[in-house]
Every structure is written in C-alpha cells, then in structure tokens.
Amino acid sequence: MIPVLRCARRALGELSADASASPWRDLVPVSFSDALTGAMPKQGTEVRAAWSEDEWRLLSTAADTDPWATMTQRDAPLYEEETVEVFLDPVGDLESYFEIEVNPLGTVLDLVLRKSRSGYKGDRAWQCEGLRTLVRKHAGGWSAEIAIPFASITNSPPRTGSRWRANFCRIDRPSRDASLPRELTAWSPPLRASFHTPERFGVIVFAE
C-alpha cells in the first residue's frame, strides 16, 4: 500500500531543526520502516512536513547512537556514509524526480534524475536554488531541517489539494567499518535495496 501524508500549511519562520519548536510541535510525524521488509528498524526516524506559499519544509529526526559523517563538499557521495534523504516528483508522472540528501555535518547532495531507456540517469549539475538546511545533534540522535523553495523545482507551485509523489529515506551505518551492514529505512519502503523506486513513492497532499 502506498502511504499518504496530508501536509499542513503553516507560517514558517527560521529553521530550528527542533521538533519542539514552531511549526513542528503540533504536527504528527510519520515513521520509517525497513526498506526491504517493512519491519521496525533498529534506529528509527520520523519526518514532519509543512508548507507555505513559497516553500516545502521537512524535519527529519533520527535516533542514532553515533551520528557521523566525514564529507563536507557539496554533491559528494553522501550515500556512502550516513544521510537522510527526500525524493520528490511534483508532476507525479514518475518520468523524473529530484533527490536531496543531508548528512550529520550538514553537507548537501542535490540532483535531478530523468528516465532513460536504461533506467534513471542522475544529473548533479542541477542545484536546488535557494535550498536551506540546518542540522542539529542532540541526545540520542540528530535532526535535519530542509527548506525547499517551490520556485526551484516547479513552475506550478502546489495549491490546497495538490498531490505530489515523494519519499523520505535514511541510510544509517552503525559503524564506520564499511564491511558491516547498513540499515536502509523509508517512509514508503521500496521493498528492495534501492531508494530509486519511484513507483513506490508515497503521496503528499497539500492541506490547510
């Protein structure tokens, strides 16, 4: 079953990366499941989502005994370490979609993927203009807030009732030893070891 998230419209202030701050404290989060099985993960993640006239705002809160990363250069291969990620298709036709990753150091990887005969091809030359992020480590884990300007991803900003396809994902590596298994989790589990499964993206409904 494809999940549906009703995204509330809110007055969005400064980024806080804090679930107890406005506009997050009165929003119910959605939780991640194991990407392959849908089971409960060892280290859980929650996402809250809100929108305004100008931007889509996300807050990921990750339980993590050791949030770590080493990469500090934009568009580095963050997926080789630990990240939270969002995949979004404003059109909803699954012909192309955007991907934005943030690691525990606040480093960003953003790209657009387009469907081709051999699968989806990523273009890292694209950058999400005006993107803002904030990462905060706290007792028991870390949080990442992402502000995505609608103007950077679509010529048709959402209105109340608009529906997008999207997924929220996480790569957790409980050890810096690359030989040990990673944990892949997602809001809408792709049911395989890859988040690049747009047919499994959930539905975002922009609500009041």
Q: Is residue 16 part of a domain?
A: yes
Q: Where are the beta strands (DSSP E) in 65-126?
A: 83-89, 96-102, 108-116, 119-123
Q: Is residue 186 part of a domain?
A: yes
> How far is Cα 130 from Cα 187, in angstroms, rounded to an integer?
25
Q: Is residue 176 part of a domain?
A: yes
The tens digit of pLDDT for each residue in 118-163 reads: 778 888 999 999 999 999 999 999 999 999 999 999 999 999 999 9
Which of 116, 134, 114, 115 lies closest to 125, judged by CA? 114
Give the domain range for residue 73: 4-190
> How far is Cα 104 from Cα 200, in angstroms, rounded to an integer?
26
Q: Is residue 89 part of a domain?
A: yes
Query: Quick check: helix, strand or coil at residue 60?
Result: strand
The tens digit of pLDDT for each residue in 46-75 reads: 999 999 999 999 999 999 999 999 999 999
Please state the domain count of the chain.
Answer: 1
Q: Is residue 197 part of a domain?
A: no
> How far is Cα 190 from Cα 201, in angstroms, rounded to an integer?
8
Q: Is residue 100 part of a domain?
A: yes
Q: Is residue 205 part of a domain?
A: no
Q: What is the CATH number for 134?
A: 2.60.40.1190
Q: Is residue 40 part of a domain?
A: yes
